[in-house]
Amino acid sequence: MNEETRADSKRTDDGSLEARSGESGSGAKESGGVTRRALITGAAAVAGSALTASVARGTGLGTRTSPDPTKVAGARPDVVGSRSPYETPRKFVTGSAGGVTQSPLQDLHGILTPADLHFERHHHGIPDIDPAGYRLLVHGLVDRPTLFTLDDLKRFPQVSRLLFLECSGNGGRAYTASPNAERSPQDIDGLLSTSEWSGVALATLFEEVGAHPESTWFLAEGSDAAVMSRSIPVEKAWDDGMIAYGQNGEAIRPEQGYPARLLLPGWEGNSSVKWVRRIELSDRPFMFRDETSKYTDPLPDETARIFSFVMDAKSLITYPAYPRRLAEPGFVEIAGYAWTGRGLIDRVEVSTDGGGSWREAALQEPLLPKCTTRFRYGWEWDGSPAHLLSRATDETGYVQPTYSQMVAARGPGTRYHYNGVRGWRVGSDGSIGFAPV
Amino acid sequence: MAPARGARMLAWLGADRRLGLRDAMLARGAGTPVWPGAKMIAVAGLLVLAGCGGAGDQSAGEPGAGDAAAPGSMTATGEGDRQTGARPGGARFGFGTPATASQIAAWDIDIAPDGAGLPPGRGTVAEGLALWDKLCLACHGPTGREGPFDVVAGRVPGDAFPFANDPAVRSTVGNYWPYATTLFDYTRRAMPFDAPGSLTDDEVYALVAAMLFFNDLLPEDAVADSATVVDTMMPARDRFVRDDRTGGPETR
């Protein structure tokens, strides 16, 4: 049951989180590790082996371990670009069964997640789907049951939006009275990513097939080995649901649902069924395994919320954060993400004294509904211990709760939607540890 | 008995949602045909504005902008029907191919809580236990309790539902799954893990029988068929409630 990454939890029945193969993936640990050999090899491949390294000495302009780039011909462009060899952001790969990867939030700038760093949560791996053979079947309570090819989908008017996508199990490691301080943003909340998603509005498709007025739910089913299925209220289709085939300007990556997926803005990631092949309109929910036994929220009164789709407001400081250290007192720009499934982030407040006082952070444009928003707060660190917190408020007036407020509302054993206030303790030596409140 | 209790839950999940957003949008149009997706396109329009540089503050600021109402924004003006996702004149686009009954049947594998979709067939607990040992034991243990993967079997004393209050209690089919139809649906579509979708319907019935037996919901000499799957009253059936979170200042 803890497959949504509650690794600190006592529940290990799923076992899928125990083998963490990406342990070295924390960007701060790895990105500095470019070796001299790698640089020289890279330069030689471009400019030939006759070059000798001309190391600038005593100029105060930095130490070069590669040839002076102003004295050799630059590399020629290629048909596909690549990341600088000096930059090695890495997902964490966790889980032994379905598959989980977590985005390196602390290494990212702006709001977009590069597609190859987008988080993953699969329920039975990544299918290989030939787009030529792809079909989307829409049937059930409709006038015209229809099969759409990928080309058919692309002929409809297109919609395109920047949206966050977050697993509702994200942040489970923060949901404990005694969290492990040695946790990075990626460890805790790496099941969050933001992309520009392009596709066709579900409303367009539902009009096209003649959806019956009495249809209240629809099934979305993937063509992965889990034949992943969820029941979705039809009103979400008329509101803003889409079938997406584009991600950040290119075709959706296989890990994100190639060639087409359901995309439900602001809702828990599991409901945005990847590799979608079938949509069936109905007048009732289907009660699939993942929407009954898994993605539900137990409550202290011995009930459980079912179909709790919307992701409540949340924020997270990604700098400064473990495992980085602050080198010296002085100016530090505290920065992070805020997002809400209910629309727009209204404000983000930052505390540097563990919640004793709060100041409003600046929000970076663009401010978009159901999308991550960057916040930043200029802080003069005087070298004394500090406790950094962030707290988001959305346009409905919802305020990101503390852990104890969440426990009061949902109990210590609830299983999803962990959006409590996150924070970092800064020691006088500049060390940083995860410390939510 | 069982169907009545289940029907109550389905009633609120279905009926209460019938007056959905589509109806609200159509009503709001007050005689003007409003395509329901226009609101989304309006939001997409905001995005376009924001992306054009210098206009970002137009999309920000106002609480309630965006998804809630998109006030004063690009409500499908100026860009023609392309912006609204509707074809000029309101005709269908005509894309796609009619799906035949056999094409639908080939993919239509879902099982509803009332049993709709359940195939003919049957299987005994004994047959299920034999299959279990061969196909399931390695992941779920000899009696469904041992793991290492999802724990299938186990009840809570008094069929209590302490999951929010006690993180140590593991959820199982017997203490958490509200419908046995889900057990049939999921086992048939996704199990066994190394050969998903490979079981015959009789094998699925047998394995469902075994799992219900593990949870003391069927006797050891039982046979499972479609009626068994529908009629078995799962202990957690009435534990599920609608999502009452609506935003606003209260933590729920």
The residues near A101 (Cβ < 8 Å, ≥ 6 apart) are: A22, A91, A92, A93, A94, A119, A120, A190, A255
The count of C-alpha atoms lying within 13 angstroms of the C-alpha of A122, restricted to the half-sphere facing its C-beta, is 25
CB pair distance less than 8 Å for B22 and A235: yes
Compute the average pLDDT of residues B52-75: 34
Q: What pLDDT does A136 receive?
A: 98
Rounded to an integer, what distance in angstroms lies between the CA atom of residue A122 and that of residue A111?
23
The residues near B1 (Cβ < 8 Å, ≥ 6 apart) are: B231, B233
Q: How many CB atoms lie within 10 A of CB A75?
A: 12
Q: What pLDDT does A96 receive?
A: 65
Instruction: Tell me if chain B has a CB within 8 Å of the CB of A372.
Output: no
Rounded to an integer, what distance in angstroms lies between the CA atom of residue B11 and that of residue A284?
8
Model ipTM value:
0.85
Which chain A residues have a beta carbon less than 8 Å from that of B99?
137-139, 145-147
Q: What pLDDT does A57 receive?
A: 53
With cut-offs at 50, 70 and 90, classify the pLDDT of residue A172. Answer: very high
Highest mean pLDDT among A15-19, A39-43, B57-61: A39-43
Q: pLDDT tens across A52-106, in order?
A: 444 445 567 776 667 889 999 999 999 999 999 999 999 999 876 669 999 999 9
Q: What percent of chain A has pLDDT over 90?
A: 83
Q: Is the pLDDT of residue B23 over 90?
A: no
Instruction: Tell me if chain B has a CB within 8 Å of the CB of A2.
Output: no
The residues near B64 (Cβ < 8 Å, ≥ 6 apart) are: A343, A395, B71
Alpha carbon of B127: minimum distance to chain A alpha carbons (Å): 24
Alpha carbon of B205: minimum distance to chain A alpha carbons (Å): 17
The residues near A356 (Cβ < 8 Å, ≥ 6 apart) are: none
Instruction: Tell me if chain B has a CB within 8 Å of the CB of A401.
Output: yes
B8: burial class by Cβ within 10 Å (0-12, 13-18, 19+)?
exposed
Minimum CA–CA partner of B22 in chain A: A238
Q: What pLDDT does A61 receive?
A: 75
Q: Is the pLDDT of residue A167 over 70?
A: yes
Compute the average pLDDT of residues A192-204: 98
Compute the average pLDDT of residues A172-198: 96
Q: Is the pLDDT of residue A252 over 90?
A: yes
Displacement of CA A168 from its chain's centroid (Å): 11
DSSP A77: P
CB pair distance less than 8 Å for B251 and A292: no
Listing from the earlier edge strand, what are the strands of the sheet with A304-306? A297-298, A304-306, B240-242
Rounded to an integer, what distance in angstroms lies between the CA atom of residue A323 and that of residue A29?
8
Q: Is the pLDDT of residue A50 over 90?
A: no
Question: Quick check: helix, strand or coil at residue A424?
Answer: strand
Q: Where are the beta strands (DSSP E) in A352-429?
A: 359-360, 362-364, 373-381, 386-394, 423-426
CB A374 within 8 A of CB A364: yes
Which chain B residues have a beta carbon less than 8 Å from that of A346?
63
Q: Is the pLDDT of residue B72 over 70?
A: no
DSSP for B215-241 reads TTSS-TT-EE-HHHHHH---TTGGGEE
With cut-offs at 50, 70 and 90, classify the pLDDT of residue B89. Answer: confident
Rounded to an integer, what distance in angstroms lies between the CA atom of residue B47 and that of residue B50?
5
With cut-offs at 50, 70 and 90, classify the pLDDT of residue B88. Answer: confident
CB pair distance less than 8 Å for B248 and A398: yes
Q: How many CB atoms lie within 10 A of CB A213?
A: 12
Which chain A residues have a beta carbon less than 8 Å from that of B160?
302
The residues near B134 (Cβ < 8 Å, ≥ 6 apart) are: none
Q: Is the pLDDT of residue B28 over 70?
A: no
Q: How many CB atoms lie within 10 A of CB A107?
A: 23
Q: What pLDDT does B90 receive?
A: 79
Rounded to an integer, what distance in angstroms lies between the CA atom of residue A233 and that of residue A237?
8
Rounded to an integer, what distance in angstroms lies between the CA atom of residue A368 and that of residue A365?
8
* Cα separation values, B93 from A233, A241, A269, A378, B40, Å: 25, 19, 30, 53, 19
Q: Is the pLDDT of residue B12 over 90?
A: no
Rounded to an integer, what distance in angstroms lies between the CA atom of residue A165 and that of residue A268?
7
Q: What phi and psi values does residue A277 have, to the nearest 5 degrees? A: -125, -15
Instruction: Tell me if chain B has a CB within 8 Å of the CB of A433.
Output: no
Q: Where are the beta strands (DSSP E) in A236-372?
A: 242-247, 250-251, 261-263, 276-282, 297-298, 304-306, 314-319, 330-339, 345-351, 359-360, 362-364
Q: Is the pLDDT of residue B62 over 60?
A: no
Compute the average pLDDT of residues B73-89: 49
Rounded to an integer, what distance in angstroms lies between the CA atom of residue A194 and that of residue A284?
31
Alpha carbon of B191: minimum distance to chain A alpha carbons (Å): 8
Structure tokens at A5: 């990454």
Q: How many CB atoms lie within 10 A of CB B71?
A: 11
Compute the average pLDDT of residues B161-172: 97
The count of C-alpha atoms lying within 13 angstroms of the C-alpha of B23, restricted to the half-sphere facing its C-beta, is 10
* Cα separation values, A302 from A137, A408, B161, B164, Å: 39, 14, 5, 7
Rounded to an integer, what distance in angstroms lies between the CA atom of residue B216 and that of residue B228?
14
Structure tokens at A279: 């949509």
Structure tokens at B99: 């799906």
Q: pLDDT tens across B44-58, in order?
A: 433 333 333 333 333
CB pair distance less than 8 Å for B40 and A203: yes
Alpha carbon of B122: minimum distance to chain A alpha carbons (Å): 21
With cut-offs at 50, 70 and 90, classify the pLDDT of residue B37. Answer: very low
CB crowding B86-116: b at 16 or more within 10 Å, else e: bbeeeeebebbeebeeebbeebbbbbbbebe
Arithmetic mean of pLDDT over chain B: 76
Q: pLDDT tens across B121-130, in order?
A: 999 999 999 9
Instruction: Provide Rg for chain A, Cα atoms.
Output: 24
Displacement of CA B92 from its chain's centroid (Å): 29
With cut-offs at 50, 70 and 90, classify the pLDDT of residue B8. Answer: very low
Q: Is the pLDDT of residue A311 over 70?
A: yes
Q: Which of residues 203-232 of A touch B (CB under 8 A)?
A: 203-204, 207-209, 213-214, 216-217, 219, 221, 225-227, 229
Amino acid identity of residue A184, one-letter, is S
Angle between helices B125-135 and B201-214 (to 10 degrees): 90
Dihedral sign for Cα A55, A61, A65, A68, please.
negative
Facing residue for A411 by CB, picked from B37, B148, B165? B165
Q: What percent of chain A has pLDDT over 70?
A: 85
Q: What pLDDT does A63 receive?
A: 65
Q: What pLDDT does B55 receive?
A: 33
Give the strand pairing for A304-306 and B240-242. Answer: parallel
Q: What percent of chain B has pLDDT over 90?
A: 63
Compute the average pLDDT of residues A220-226: 97
Instruction: Provide Rg for chain B, Cα atoms.
Output: 25
Arithmetic mean of pLDDT over chain A: 89
